[in-house]
């Protein structure tokens, strides 16, 4: 039955509608979902009936809470690295497809949007945040790294905001998402279904959105932006930590909290994420995705990803034993190796 499918892609009026339909897994992306969405985008690109793509979720809790991390962990533990890299490769190609898609791509995000869910929403032309919107790239907490195009998108947020998101994994609500550029519009949750229906009818997309858009006030992070900009625009990772420490010593409780947050993340992942942000601002989208594929190809054969998933997802003891265990012990040469070209194994992308 159609209701049992993990993702439903169908034409409704003037829109190609994508329904994320894996609510028990908070719409975590599977390889089948990635492939079905890619197939639909190919079919709709030259279909004159389809004026825009609209992505919605059947879950009240989540738009999409990431990729299928447990499956990836189990593949790697079993030595099936080719299967892991096939998933990431197809996912990254899909992210690039969305970024370069010639028709408006509208994601209606009302709930959790993390990891893989970010990859199928953030690169679209219109990102609509409902009241329950909650964005995070929490990968450094499981020994992974902010991927799915974060290398390109996050460094382009003003005031070091992307660096803050990448290094801490902190969650951001709708108001802060709109002010930072993560989201393009805010719409009340109770009007999301009505908006989805309106987008299936002919008409200019911006005119349709204008009838639903809610002006939100400053978000909870508004008062912290100056401190964050000072700390997270530092040229080196040790300098970021030092500036946060100085802010904390000057009375910033938020800076102190962020120091504690970063301290429990995978040191390797934090160092990779900082280097991504440093390089990413100068990369085009395709090169950013190739860079991420280089990183993930090494992480799949490393230690911290498996240890992080064990501690957070499997055993849930929240006590990962990272290798190395501190930022000071991270070897810069080891981090640089994650970014080295793969030769014939590079991700194949146009552009």
Which residues belong to the active site? 67, 116, 139, 147
Name the 3-class secondary structure at 164: helix
Q: How far apart are CA 208 and CA 206, in angstroms?
A: 5
> 106 pairs with which residues across the strands?
54, 126
The answer to whether 287 touches 149, Cβ cutoff 8 Å, is no
CA distance 114 to 62: 9
Residue 31 CA from chain centroid, whole number: 17
Instruction: Report how far apart, in Å, the C-alpha atoms of 202 and of each of 53, 102, 197, 247, 250 are.
Output: 13, 17, 11, 52, 55
Cis check: omega of the bond before 91, within 30 degrees of 0: no
Residue 173 forms beta bridges with which residues?
134
Phi then psi dihedrals of residue 67, to 5 deg: -95, 175
Backbone dihedral angles phi then psi of residue 63, each to the nearest 5 degrees: -75, -60
| Vertex 290: Cα angle to 286 and 296 (nearest 5) | 140
CA 102 distance to own-chain centroid: 21
Is residue 149 within 8 Å of residue 122, measured between CB atoms?
Answer: yes
**12/275 Cα distance (integer angstroms):** 43
Q: Which two tokens stand for residue 164?
A: 């803050």
d(CA 197, CA 181): 25
Strand runs (DSSP E) across the chain, as ranges?
Answer: 7-12, 15-20, 52-57, 62-64, 105-109, 112-114, 126-129, 134-136, 172-173, 185-186
């Amino acid at each position: 039955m159609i209701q049992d499918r993990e993702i439903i892609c169908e034409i409704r009026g003037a829109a190609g509608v994508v329904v994320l339909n894996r609510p028990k897994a908070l719409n975590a992306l599977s390889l089948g979902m990635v492939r079905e969405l890619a197939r639909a985008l190919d079919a709709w690109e030259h279909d004159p009936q389809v004026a825009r793509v609209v992505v919605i979720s059947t879950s009240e809790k989540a738009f999409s809470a990431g990729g299928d991390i447990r499956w990836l962990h189990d593949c790697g533990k079993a030595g099936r690295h080719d299967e892991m890299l096939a998933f990431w490769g197809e996912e990254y190609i899909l992210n690039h497809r969305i970024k370069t898609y010639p028709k408006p791509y509208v994601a209606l995000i009302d709930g959790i949007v993390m990891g893989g869910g970010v990859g199928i929403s953030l690169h679209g032309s219109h990102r609509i945040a409902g009241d329950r919107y909650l964005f995070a790239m929490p990968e450094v907490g499981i020994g992974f790294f902010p991927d799915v195009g974060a290398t390109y998108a996050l460094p382009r947020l003003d005031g070091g905001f992307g660096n803050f998101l990448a290094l801490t994994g902190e969650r951001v609500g709708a108001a802060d998402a709109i002010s930072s550029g993560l989201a393009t519009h805010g719409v009340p949750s109770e009007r999301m279904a009505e908006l989805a229906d309106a987008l299936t009818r002919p008409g200019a997309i911006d005119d349709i959105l204008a009838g639903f858009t809610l002006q939100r006030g400053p978000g909870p992070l508004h008062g912290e932006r100056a401190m964050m900009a000072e700390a997270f625009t530092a040229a080196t990772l040790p300098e970021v930590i030092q500036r946060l420490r100085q802010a904390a010593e000057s009375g910033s409780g938020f800076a102190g909290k962020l120091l504690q947050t970063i301290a429990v993340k995978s040191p390797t992942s934090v160092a990779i994420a900082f280097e991504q942000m440093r390089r990413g601002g100068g990369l085009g989208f395709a090169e950013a995705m190739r860079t991420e594929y280089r990183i993930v190809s090494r992480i799949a054969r490393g230690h911290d990803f498996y240890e992080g998933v064990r501690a957070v997802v499997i055993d849930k003891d929240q006590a990962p034993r990272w290798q190395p265990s501190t930022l000071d012990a991270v070897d810069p040469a080891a981090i640089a190796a994650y970014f080295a070209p793969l030769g014939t194994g590079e991700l194949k992308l146009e552009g």
